[in-house]
Structures are given as C-alpha cells and as structure tokens.
Chain A
C-alpha cells in the first residue's frame, strides 16, 4: 500500500511536470508589448511552484514509503517539533511568496498605474447580452453621448446615439469587429448596457470586466507579431470572448479582433464609417 502511494505520487508528479514543461496545452502567441512580461512572470511562478510541488509530493511519497509500519518493532521518533525549523521555513516561505509577488509589481504597474498616451487610439467597447459593439469617435475625436432610452438593436441604434441632435455623435462609428492598427497604442474604454461582461482576448493578454454604470479603461500596444499570426489562418484576426457569466447565451458572446497595418486600418475604418 505504501509503495503504491509512493509510486502514484511520483508518477503524478512526473507526468504533471512534463505536461507543463512540454507546453502540451499552452498560451497562444503573444501579440502585445506587455505580454512578454506577463508570460515571464507566469514562467517564473511555474518554476518556483514546480520545485515546491516536486519536493512536497516526492517528500510525501518518500515518507509514506520509508516510514510505513513494518512490524519490526521500530519505535516512532518522539518529537514535538523544532522551533528553528519552524522559523526557517516560515521565513523562507515568506521571502519566496512575497518576493515573487513584488517581482510582478512592475508588470501590473505598467499595465494599470499609468494611463494611455494622449495620442492613443481610443475605442469604446460595449457589451450586451450576448453581443459586442465597438465605437470609434470619428474625425472629431469625441464620443457622442449615449441615451439609454434610444438603445434599440431592432433599428440598429445599438448604443443609443442621437445623431440628429448630438454633434459629437454624428461621426461616431459603431462596428461589430474590433479593428486596430498594429504597433500603435490603443485605449479601450469598457462599458456595458445590461449586466456584467468581461473582455478577454488570449493573444492580447488583456482581461477586463465590463460593469454597467462604469467606464473602465485599459490600454495596450500590439507588436508586428500580431500580423504574423491569426485565428483560422487569417493574419491579424483573433477571437474576443466574454468571460463573465452574463446569461444563457454567455457561451456564444464572441467577436473578432482584427489587427491591420496603418493603411489598412484607415481604409477599413473609412468603409465602416460609410456603412453607418
């Protein structure tokens, strides 16, 4: 029985570590400037946790096997513990855990503690059960006010714009795809019409909730890598999904991100404007 436990724990440990090590299931390509730092922090955490995992599981396996009752009259060690050991592993655990956390501080700070650059492309991201909409401010650089009482998907006024009366709304462009230029900073302003949603694009390493009543900003910049990859063989195309339970159609709340060259982006945006 003891040998069985020991062998199983050893097997479990080896196979688990292998599957992490071999990246059998892994993150997709990173296409943003901040992504490498996230991936590095993940890998560092994986290495530290991996070492602890191996030591703890192998230690458990070894002790179960070595100290099993063998009926040979051996007495158990009579010990109530060791204060020096307690202090050592307390301090060691504190240093490793808190230190690991502090190493991740800069990654988080770069993502959140500073706002987007003034020349960043600003786009509103709107969620509703179970659709995504994206709003570009148009040539005036201003988002027009939204009027909830005018929101109506049936007549394609998804965001409740009053283009007839609000000057700033006249050139606003509302799309179902998030088109962005490569290698330029983008600020997304996340808003919801109804319930909580969450914006997640794996390749962007961006994950942020949309909360009704709030405007939540998040910024990032894609790299050239974005054009070298793409979902379904389409360069620059990636899936955006909702990850906050929003109702029965949560599983199908999806849109596409399309990363383009500057020129392609301008053409695309122009075409979208003409289609309004």
Chain B
C-alpha cells in the first residue's frame, strides 16, 4: 500500500467472443455495468410493488387490474389480501435494501470506478469479482422465485423476526417455502457481498498507482473502501444468522424458538430455550451498518460531484475522510437503537442511545463540509449537480428525524410507526437513490461514451425531488399522530380510520404515482442516450480524477498499458495561477497547496 506501488499488476486479455466479453466477463467495467443493471431491474420491480402497496393502502377493496396474474391466491378477483400486502412489503424492502441500495452504489459504480480512480487496470481478483456478481444474481433469482411458490412470498418483513419467520407455514401464509427462499437468497447475497468486500479492500490497498497516497484518494474511493470493511464485518454475521434461522426451520434447532409456543391452538413441540431477541441482535448488528453501506458511497459520490460542479476543492477533505471512518466505526455500536422497546435491558438501550447520538456528529460534519464546499463556488447546475444538492437536502431532513428515534423516551410514541418509515426512506432510501442518479448522470459519459439528455434529466430531477418530499415528509406527521407501519389497511382501528389520516395517505399515493411515472423518463433517457446521445469527450465535466484522463468509454485495460502517476489532490479546482480552472490529478504541473 505504498504510494510508489506499481499500478495494477493484473492483466487479462480483452475477450473476443460476446459471451466472455459481456456475460462471463472478468473486466471490472463490465461487471460494474452488470451490477448496475441488476440494481436497475430490482429498483423498478421494487418500485412497482410499492405502487401496488400505496394503491391498496388508500383503496383497500379496489380491484387492481391484472393483479391476479401476479398471484391468484394473493389477489383473487384482483383484490389484494392482507397477507399479500405484507408479502409485497417484504419483497419491496428486500429488493430495495439488498439488491438496489447495497448493489448499485458499491457493486455498480464502485466496481467500475474504484480501479480507474486509483490508476489500476482492474480489481485485484477479477475472477472473484465475476463470481461475486453471479452469486448476487443467483440470490436475486431465488428471491424473485418466491413470487411463484404456492404458499406465496414471505411476509415477515425484511427483518424476518422469529418466531414468525422460524415456525414455518403454521405461522400463516408466506411462511413456508417462500420464507426458505428468502433466507437462501439473503445467504447468497451475503456470499456475493463478502467476496466483493475482500476484492474492494485488496484493490484499494494494493493497486494504487504511483503517487496515489491515501490522502490523494477521491472521497468516492474512501467511501467504497470503508463500505467494503462494513460489508465484510456485517454480512458475515447476517450470513451466520441466516444459517441459524434456516436450521430452526428445517433442522429442528432452537436458536430463536423458545419452548411452549402455541399457535392457532397448536402446541409447537420439539423446540426449547431459543431466544427471539438473539435474532434481533444478530440482524441489527448487520442491519445498522447496512444503513451506512447504503449511504456511504452516496456521501462519496455527492462530495465528488459537489466539488466538481462548484469548481472548488472539497471543504475539509481530511474531515470528510475521517468522519466516514468514524461513521463506519460507530455504525457497529448502535444496533440496539432498533430495539429500545424489544425487551432488551433498558440500561443497554440508553448506552446504545448515547452511541447513536454520537454518530450524528460525523454526519453533521459532512453536512457542514458540503455547505462549505458550495460556499464561494461557481455552481454549474447540471443534472448530476442537482441530484447531489438534492442528496444534501434529503440527508439533512432524514438525518434529523433520526435524532428523535435515537432517544429511547422519544422513540416510545414513534416506534414502529410512519415516522420511522419516513425517516429511513428519506435518509437511506431516497437520499441514496439521489446519489445514484447523480452518479449516473455524472459517469454515464465515461461508461457509455455518450451524454445523457440534460433537459429530460432536469424534468426527471424536479418531479422526483418535489415528489419524494410529498411522499415521505407527510409520513413524519402521520407517525406523530400514531399511524402504525406494516398495516395492510387502516379501517380496523378507529384512530387510523379517519379522513385526517386517510386523506394524507391519498395525497401521498397520488404523489407516489406521479413520482413513479416520471422514473420512466429516466429509463427512456438512459437507454435512448446509450445509443443516440451526444458523443462524449474524454472529460466533459472538466473534472480532475483519473477516470477523466482516459477515453470515454475506457479501453479494456483502462490506461492502455500506461501506468498513470498522480501528483495532485483530487479536487484541485479554481487553483490560482493554474493554466485552467482545474488541475488533473496526473498533471505534471507544479504541486498545489493541498489540504
């Protein structure tokens, strides 16, 4: 990991045949695109499920045209059953958390750009990289297959709390084969993520080119590196927990199932002494770092784009890098804030609460530094920049609501309600997806050699930005009013069955439909631009990092056999006395002052 390290030593020849070039590729760029398209497919399926859920929530007896085609038992006469709502919710969350938020920013953009930004020809282990993708794809296919089993998809949520998830079909529909497939899918996903994490860490530490000191890494690389460490430590635990849950279901073990369970008047025999809370500890030991696995790459991408389009060095580079490290470390000390009312010791709850408030500090530092980066800049409001600005706004909004939930007494009235749903959708869902949109508009020219349409991009941005606030901000108000999450309909509880609550849900559903529809504009822009977009130059954004020193799209080995040397920090914009308003990292111009 020395700065003088010779760049990527790995070489593999450019494949000739279609199948080796585009399907079983060892090229990190192709694998990055494969991850990206896997996430793109998942996000549209996940979004479609959320539209069906929103529809059902406000019109629970509505006939949704064609829904019976998806599931004859889940939607007889096109009317969604309560259990099918919960199944769609479970599949929506699983797709979004694992196959979108974990996959696109890291497996997609990280795979494509980490090696190039550090001056390497490829990832450290190309075959492992290919294997990571294919195992992840297998995980996705197994998950999707749960839609088509007789018992229906699982309904225990993406958190899969036992005993509901452990008892099998006696616990109700969706808890049979569908739940087994869910566990297998997640286990496969864990394997793919672990392999990917090893590859990212090795690549970042070992394949940096000459002059690429750690403190010259673009913040994206810091983010991908720290995310990989989190993935390595957390997915291993989820994998183990998943195996234990599977054994409880099929092997007669009792890790999570206590004795004396009676369900539907049937005594469950053969289990004794298990702890349902053990699962919650194991799950959230993974689950909270997972939140940062989703958002850290977004933080890196946002920092990178804000600096580029503000034409200013990033404000507080070191503070940005150290705060990501602090977030990474603290993310393993806060899992219990999901469990304040779980039955866990209230003393422990308070300790977790202190750590959770502490993790707000590095998050606040990042926000201050983003604002500091904009201060005194010359903002070029490209679509990528708009999404990065949107990220900052959403991160602030979603992050602040976390301060409520981090305090046990304040969590009491808000727990398991729409306040929580609004919070995490804002901060780890929408903010992270805004970073992905920003990354897509920013790096598309490099990935596909063409520019995306900026007019369509801005239309997409505006409707999405306004739309997500219309969908998710009201959830905070509903949560305060006591609106409980994971209810398939609200007409069985008097305080929910009121125009005051339902009316706001109707507003959110209409906003969701409009916001969902405009994503088709993005999809059109993406595919149209791939083939018809304006040809991209090598460095259309006048950016400074190494990916902008090579052709768009890059050649197979990235740097055409040359080993780049790095002389500058990654965000040297507006340098006084420089020939242009930016200095490329590999420019042999006199070194700049640096951070």
Contact = CB atoms under 8 A, between A and B. Distances in A.
Given A76-B377, A81-B319, A113-B346, A28 B482 contact: yes
Interface stretch (B388-396, B523-531, B546-554, B557-565): B388-396
A9 B160 CA distance: 37
B347 interface: yes
Interface stretch (A92-100, A161-169, A177-185): A92-100
Contacts, number: 336
Interface string B559-586: 0000000000000011110000100000
A217 to B, nearest CB: 10
A245 B157 contact: yes
Interface string A33-69: 0000110011001101100110011011001100111
A37 B31 CA distance: 54
Given A52-B400, A129-B172, A101 B407 contact: yes
A244 B416 contact: yes
B17 to A, nearest CB: 46
B300 interface: no
A276 interface: no
B59 interface: no
Contacts of A128: 262-263
A4 B466 CA distance: 11
A193 B481 CA distance: 30
A81 B261 contact: no
B19 interface: no
B261 A93 contact: no
A38 B413 contact: yes
A57 B390 CA distance: 10
A211 B274 CA distance: 11
B415 A81 contact: no
B497 to A, nearest CB: 11
Contacts of A85: 316, 368, 372
B574 A56 contact: no
B372 A254 contact: no
Contacts of A227: none
A120 interface: no
B327 to A, nearest CB: 13
Contacts of A111: 346, 409, 412
Contacts of B317: 80-81
A209 B163 contact: no
B262 A148 contact: yes
A149 B410 contact: no
Given A1-B381, A77-B312, A195 B416 contact: no
A207 interface: yes
A27 B478 CA distance: 10
Contacts of A198: 341, 415-416
Interface in B64-105: 81-83, 86
Contacts of B404: 42, 45-46, 49
A20 B576 CA distance: 47
A2 B379 contact: yes
B484 interface: yes
B500 interface: yes
Contact of B376 (A16, A79, A113): A79
A153 interface: yes
Given A27-B481, A75-B574, A247-B172, A193 B263 contact: yes
Contacts of A69: 378-381
B593 interface: yes
Contacts of B462: 4
B253 interface: no
Interface in B353-377: 353-354, 357-358, 360-361, 364-365, 367-369, 371-372, 374-377
A50 to B, nearest CB: 9
Contact of A251 (B82, B259, B275, B410): B82
Nearest to B342: A209
A226 interface: no
Interface stretch (B291-299, B443-451, B485-493): B485-493
Interface string B325-347: 00000000000000001110011
Given A80-B313, A111-B409, A198-B341, A245 B86 contact: yes
Given A111-B412, A198-B415, A246-B164, 9 more contacts: A57-B393, A78-B573, A78-B575, A78-B576, A86-B369, A194-B167, A195-B164, A208-B343, A209-B341
16 contacts: A1-B386, A63-B379, A75-B576, A79-B315, A90-B365, A93-B360, A98-B357, A198-B341, A209-B342, A212-B163, A232-B494, A243-B417, A245-B155, A245-B161, A248-B155, A248-B173
Interface of A: 1-2, 4-5, 8-9, 12, 16, 19-20, 24-28, 37-38, 41-42, 45-46, 48-49, 52-53, 56-57, 59-60, 63-64, 67-69, 74-82, 85-86, 89-90, 93-94, 97-98, 100-101, 104-105, 107-109, 111-113, 128-129, 148-149, 151-154, 160, 193-196, 198, 200, 202, 205-209, 211-214, 216, 231-232, 239, 241, 243-252, 254
